[in-house]
Structure 1
Amino acid sequence: MINKRRLTVKDIVYVGVLAAMCAMATSLKIPFGVGAMVHLGTAFLFTVGICFGGVYAGLAGAIGSAFYDLLMGFSPYTVWSFVIKGTAGLLVGLIAKGLWPAPIACNAGNTWVWRALLGCVVAAAWTLGGYIVAWWQITGSLATAFANIPSSLMTSGVGLVGAMILSPKLRKNVNRLT
């Protein structure tokens, strides 16, 4: 029999706080290209996935990114961001940590680093593909969509580096929370 876990009030509070922090991190941006930006939201999303797992990262990424788009005038991207960033968070968290937050074994070694890197790369590829389709559909121009590829790759690269710097220290503190 499969042991199913349900969201608790504690989970909902964590997801709400993480979603708000995701929206705030996304607001730290450098505009680049047509409708594209390099921001710290991806670094935050990757870090949450590595530290908390797929459910938290998926929900925080979906809600936080969509909320940011809605509030900051990118409303055509709201639904796209909800799906793309939510799935990206789920992917990085699932690969790097699993579905749910769980204490990390002290003798886990450095295998988490390879899982975290793989999760970030898979999530970055998903995000790139998803936003190419989103940009194409919203702008009506495939050329514009392809022109935004460098900014997506730069954002994911910054996100990967940022997550790999922050995650080792934060993972230890997450053990105390879960």
Structure 2
Amino acid sequence: MANKRMLTTRDIVYSGVLAAICAMATSLKIPFGVGAMVHLGTAFLYTVGICFGGVYAGLAGAIGSAFYDLLMGFSPYTAWSFVIKGVAGLIIGFVAKGLWPAPVIRETGHSWMWRAVLGCLLAAAWTLGGYIVAWWQVTGSLAIAFSNIPGSLLTSGVGIVVALLLSPKLRKIVYR
């Protein structure tokens, strides 16, 4: 039988801290145009996935995003965010780093960067699809759901750029 890794107390503490930072990062908003806002929670989630792996990113995204929605009055989206952002974190982390954190290995070239980009794009596609369904179910209008697509794509795009800029340095620091 394969040796399976279990969550340790350290994993739980790290996940809790990362979830709290995810909730705070989601509250940091950047204005774009007239009335459009982009938050940095997605950038943080992608960065955690690239640096720490799928389990940490999944837990941080699920708990942090749901906690933000619950505290900020978006309670109809709490369960949706828990699932959507949790799976998005798992996707980016698994593709870019694997399920669990592991020491940074000297990789030739930038192969990790291509995995990170692919993971970010897959997570962004999952998030967009998930939130279209969530917006449709919560508002009862498919037109409103589709009208939110540009904002979601902008948030994911900014998240990808920020994560890809921060991750190379953070990957070296995290595993010293």
The alignment's TM-score, normalised by the length of structure 1, stands at: 0.94
Q: Aligned runs of 1:1-178 on 2, under 5 Å?
A: 1-30=1-30, 37-176=37-176
Which structure 2 segments of 5+ residues have no match? none
For residues 131 and 21 of structure 2, the distance between their equivalents in structure 1, rounded to whole angstroms, comes to 22
Paired residues, what number? 173
Specify the SS of the correspondent of 1:137. Answer: helix
For residues 13 and 108 of structure 1, the distance between their equivalents in structure 2, rounded to whole angstroms, comes to 33
User: What letter is aligned with 1:116?
Assistant: A
Deviation track 1:125-169 (CA, whole Å, cap 9, x = no partner) reads 000000000000000000000000000000000000000000000
For residues 80 and 38 of structure 1, the distance between their equivalents in structure 2, rounded to whole angstroms, comes to 19
Identity, % of aligned pairs?
80
Kindly state the Cα deviation for residue 37 of structure 1 after the two structures are TM-superposed. Answer: 4.5
Give the root-mean-square deviation of aligned CA atoms. 1.3
User: What letter is aligned with 1:78?
Assistant: T
Kindly state the Cα deviation for residue 104 of structure 1 after the two structures are TM-superposed. Answer: 1.4
For residues 124 and 99 of structure 2, the distance between their equivalents in structure 1, rounded to whole angstroms, comes to 18
Specify the SS of the correspondent of 2:23. Answer: helix
Specify the SS of the correspondent of 1:129. Answer: helix
For residues 57 and 10 of structure 2, the distance between their equivalents in structure 1, rounded to whole angstroms, comes to 15
Kindly state the Cα deviation for residue 31 of structure 1 after the two structures are TM-superposed. Answer: 7.0
Specify the SS of the correspondent of 2:105. Answer: coil
Kindly state the Cα deviation for residue 109 of structure 1 after the two structures are TM-superposed. Answer: 3.0
Deviation track 1:73-100 (CA, whole Å, cap 9, x = no partner) reads 0000000000000000000000000000
Q: Which runs of 4+ in 1 moved over 6 A?
A: none
For residues 173 and 67 of structure 1, the distance between their equivalents in structure 2, rounded to whole angstroms, comes to 28
Specify the SS of the correspondent of 1:125. Answer: helix
Which structure 1 segments of 5+ residues have no match? none
For residues 163 and 137 of structure 2, the distance between their equivalents in structure 1, rounded to whole angstroms, comes to 30
The alignment's TM-score, normalised by the length of structure 2, stands at: 0.95
Moved more, 145-154 or 101-110: 101-110
Specify the SS of the correspondent of 2:38. Answer: strand
Moved more, 140-149 or 23-32: 23-32
User: What letter is aligned with 2:20?
Assistant: A
User: What letter is aligned with 1:2?
Assistant: A
User: What letter is aligned with 2:60?
Assistant: A
Specify the SS of the correspondent of 1:38. Answer: strand
